[in-house]
Amino acid sequence: MKRAYLLTAAILVAGTVASATASTDTAAHASAAKSAAVENHNFFKPTESTTTGSVTVEGHTIDYVAHAGTLVVHPQGYDDAPQTKAQGEKNPDAEASMFYVAYFKKGEKPGSRPITFFYNGGPGSSTVWLHMGAFGPKRIVTADHTHTPAAPYQIVNNNHSLLDATDMVFIDAPGTGYSRIAGKNKEKEFYGVDQDGHAFANFIEEFLTKYNRWNSPKYLFGESYGTPRSAVLSWDLAKKDIDLNGVMLLSQILNFDLSVDGPQNNPGIDKPYEIALPTYAATAWYHHMLPGNPQHLMPVIQAAERFAMGDYAYALAQGSSLSPKAKLDIANRLHQFTGLPVSFIMRANLRISGGVFEKHLLQNEDTTTGRLDTRFTGPSMDPLSKSAEYDPQSAAISSAYVAAFNYYAHNVLHYGDGMTYKPEINVFKWWSFKHRQPDEAFSFPGATNVMPDLAATMKYNPDMKVFLGGGYFDLATPFYEGWYEMHHLPIPAKLQSNIQYHYYKSGHMVYVHEPAAIKLHDDASAFIRSTDNIGQ
């Protein structure tokens, strides 16, 4: 909108003041800038488009009302009352217009209907993926494990929408999708672990008020970076006296020291190699690269878990004191779980990062496996590179999702005409991974770790339940990483029973594989129904 307006203003000025003096030209530019500022201000106001529809879920038709719109949120320290800088105002100008699509089942009273807030991760990703792939009333059809052909794409009824169990709100993070940020230091105020959590907490407060949902059972559903967001957000909401019935975490990473993306840059921390090994084994099994070509997946995964936490962990902990004979023995056993040549494993010093595994698993310089979903493969960009240069799974489906949502928003939700939908943005040059853990006076000086936030929320609200879901073929956030984190939460032993574990024969975006999407729906639906406290 702003770009179109400035272009129009420039044409008008060129046509009417070609012979004007320099002072007149300056005045015209000042006027145009002022008008642009006014338009920008108007953009950052709540908007809404309301439509109706129906979805058939497992044979049952559900009529709903859809609300597509924006709510405006502000940075931490913002006061609704006007202030001056002399009064200590942190930043009066920065604000975010956060886009959402909410689906409410018709004919239900707010207090008798759960509500779930969904978001993807990145950071820097919109929520088009969960919306059009997992739980919205419409979904995009993509190929199961190969590249989806170009448009036109097929948008169909979502038979595993979660609208049968909960009302749903899909939220785009600040700056993504149709969400926008503006004002002084806008990136600093919204692009960071703590800033992002505050923005989402602010949004949820406003949403509960706007739609009278304060007394509804409340849930968070985050995927990927949406899982650390959920941990931070759950604690932010608890401090605002907003108790959650449950938190659902899909493809989890809470402690970034455990990431298998680039662990070679963090020497001395070997845990990423260990907890990624079960996913390496599952991937090698899927691509028939394991010696003996075992028939069943689960025995392979279970054996890999035992080796990873046992002999492999012990060997890595010894560092350079590991004897050559013991090192060769471990390399031979790693070969049994990865299919990689023993000589390759020895040269890697028993430590294989995610990107190196993706590039070299198939032992074919021309083919790379996926990161988000290792079932996918694609041509290598550079046959001589050390690690994967792109993600074949992301390349295979992203165009379909983006096209589908743009069509759906404009033609069904009647929202977004003249606007650009941003499925993903690059926020890393601004993003602050500094995080102030609960009850700490300053940010922790290390890798982001929000396990204390989730633990604090579970202790503050001991009735809150947690759902952990993961895909066996996910190398962005290996499924065993989530299991490890949950079993190391600083919580009383009795609260461990509040956590449910669900795993799927799919990747990071579990729902891309339709059998897994159906199971994910059934598991999530059962989780909500068992924790919504309705009728008690």
- CATH number, position 461: 3.40.50.1820
Q: Is the pLDDT of residue 505 over 90?
A: yes
Picking from 361, 393, 425, the residue at the C-terminal end of a domain is: 393
% of the chain exceeding 90 in pLDDT: 77
Whether 274 is in a domain gets the answer: yes
Q: Which residues contact 471 (CB under 8 A, 6 or more apart)?
A: 251, 373, 479, 503, 504, 505, 506, 507, 508, 509, 510, 516
> Averaged over 351-365, what is the pLDDT?
92
Regarding whether 501 and 456 lie in a shared domain, the answer is yes
Whether 345 is in a domain gets the answer: yes
Give the domain range for residue 26. 2-43
Picking from 393, 419, 450, the residue at the C-terminal end of a domain is: 393
> Averaged over 120-139, what is the pLDDT?
97
Whether 430 is in a domain gets the answer: yes
* Strand locations in 278-426 (E): 367-369, 377-379
Q: Both tokens of residue 128?
A: 């088009």
pLDDT band at 125; cut points 50, 70, 90: very high
pLDDT for position 29 = 43
Whether 169 is in a domain gets the answer: yes
Regarding whether 317 and 240 lie in a shared domain, the answer is no
What mean pLDDT value characterizes the chain? 89
R_g (Cα) of the chain, nearest Å: 25
Residue 187's identity, in one-letter code, is E
pLDDT for position 306 = 98
pLDDT band at 445; cut points 50, 70, 90: confident
How far is the C-alpha of 297 from the C-alpha of 286, rounded, in Å? 8
Regarding whether 232 and 123 lie in a shared domain, the answer is yes
Whether 86 is in a domain gets the answer: no
pLDDT for position 145 = 85
pLDDT band at 527; cut points 50, 70, 90: very high
Whether 229 is in a domain gets the answer: yes
Dihedral sign, CA of 470, 473, 476, 481? Answer: positive
Regarding whether 73 and 215 lie in a shared domain, the answer is yes
> Averaged over 462-469, what is the pLDDT?
98
Regarding whether 139 and 249 lie in a shared domain, the answer is yes
pLDDT for position 43 = 57
The torsion region of residue 353 among left (phi > 0), alpha (psi -120 to 50) and beta comes to beta
> Averaged over 231-250, what is the pLDDT?
97
Regarding whether 209 and 292 lie in a shared domain, the answer is no
Q: Is the pLDDT of residue 1 over 50?
A: no
> Averaged over 49-61, what is the pLDDT?
96
Q: 410 near 417, Cβ under 8 Å?
A: yes
Regarding whether 246 and 160 lie in a shared domain, the answer is yes
144 or 82, higher pLDDT: 144
Regarding whether 137 and 209 lie in a shared domain, the answer is yes
Whether 85 is in a domain gets the answer: no
Regarding whether 282 and 197 lie in a shared domain, the answer is no
Regarding whether 243 and 131 lie in a shared domain, the answer is yes
Regarding whether 464 and 414 lie in a shared domain, the answer is yes
Picking from 342, 362, 393, the residue at the C-terminal end of a domain is: 393
Q: Which residues contact 520 (CB under 8 A, 6 or more apart)?
A: 134, 160, 250, 469, 502, 504, 510, 511
At 83-115, the pLDDT tens digits run 444 444 444 578 999 999 999 999 998 888 999
Q: Is the pLDDT of residue 414 over 90?
A: yes
pLDDT for position 76 = 80
Whether 368 is in a domain gets the answer: yes
Regarding whether 277 and 216 lie in a shared domain, the answer is no
pLDDT for position 79 = 61
The total number of structural domains that make up the chain: 3
Comparing CA positions, the residue from 451, 404, 485 lying closest to residue 131 is: 404
pLDDT for position 158 = 96
pLDDT for position 92 = 54
Dihedral sign, CA of 497, 122, 127, 153? Answer: negative
